[in-house]
Structure 1
Amino acid sequence: MEPVHRGLGRCVCCFWLAVAFDIVGLLVLLIGVFVNVFFYDLLIYAGAIVIFLSLIWWVFWYSGNIEVPPAELEDDVGLLKKDRGALSGISGAVRRLSSRVSGGIRTSFRRNGAPSSRSQRSARGAPVAVPMATMTPQGVTPHTPVSSVAGCDVEMPHTTTETSPT
C-alpha cells in the first residue's frame, strides 16, 4: 500500500525552499525600499530576482505533487489492457502501420546512407573533384593608370575574375 501524503505533499523540501526564497527576497526588496542606503536600487533588483527564482521551487513542489491514477498511465508506459473492444483493434492497426512505415524509412536510410546532394557527391558517395583553370588576361596591360591626383599618377594592378565552366 502506498503511503498517504497529507499537508505539504511529497516534496516538502521544495516547499520550504520556495517559502525561504520568498521571505528572503521580500526582506531584501523591502530593505531596498525603506532603508536609506546608497545602494537601494541593487537591493530592490536583488529582492525581485530572488522572488522570481522562488518560482522554480514552487513549480518543483507543484509538479512533484501531481497525482495521476495508474489507469491513465497505462497508455503512456505501454501497459495496454486487452479488453478495450473495437477501439483497441483500430489503435493496434494504426500502431502496426506506424511501426512498419517508420521501420521502412529507417532501413532505407541505413541502406542508402545519408541523403546526398547531386552536386556534392557522385553516385557512389565519393566527393566530386571540380577542376579550376587559371585564366590569364588577354591583351591587357598589367598596370593601367586610373587617375591623377595632385600631379601624381595612381596605378592600379589589373585583376581578373576566375570562373569555373558550367
Structure 2
Amino acid sequence: MQKITPSLWFNDNAEEAINFYLTVFKNGKVVNKSYYGEGAPFPEGTLLAATFQLDGLEFMALNGGPVFPFTEAVSFAVNCETQEEVDYYWDTLSGNGGKESQCGWLKDKYGLSWQIVPTIIFELFSDPDKEKAGRAMAAMMKMKKLDIATLQNAFNGE
C-alpha cells in the first residue's frame, strides 16, 4: 500500500471524472467505491468515495459538494518521453472543456491542474552551460503546450 495518497474533492462528478481518467491513462483501475445511502446530502446511489489507480499511483476521490474547488496550488505532473506522449496527454486532458495555460500547465474539464512535461526538460534546464539552459527556459516561457524540438533548438542556439 502506498504511504501517501492524493485525495481529490469533487463537487458531484467524481465518478464521471474517474471514468475519464481511466480512459486517459491506459494502465488504471478502480480499487473500490462506496455510495451515498438514503438521507445523505446527495441523492441515494451517488458516489460518495472511491479509490482508483492511474499508472500505479493510487488516488482517492470524494463527492463532497462545491465547498472546496481545485486550484493551481496542487497539480499532477505527467512525465513524457516523446512529443507524441506530450501531444496525447495535452490534447486529451485539455480537450472537451479543459483550459490551456502556460509552460506545460493545463486544467482538465473538472478543474484539476496538470503539468505535461517532456522529461528532456530536466536535462536542458540543469545543463552546466547556463546560457544554453537559459535559452531553453526562455523558449518554454513562450509556450503553452511544450514542444521538445523547439526547446532543443533554443538550447542549441538555433
TM band (smaller chain): under 0.3
- TM-score computed with the length of structure 2 as normaliser: 0.19
From the two aligned structures, give the one with the greater helix fraction.
1
- Rg larger in structure: 1
- TM-score computed with the length of structure 1 as normaliser: 0.18
Q: Whose relative contact order is higher, 1 or 2, with alpha carbons under 8 Å and at least 6 apart?
A: 2
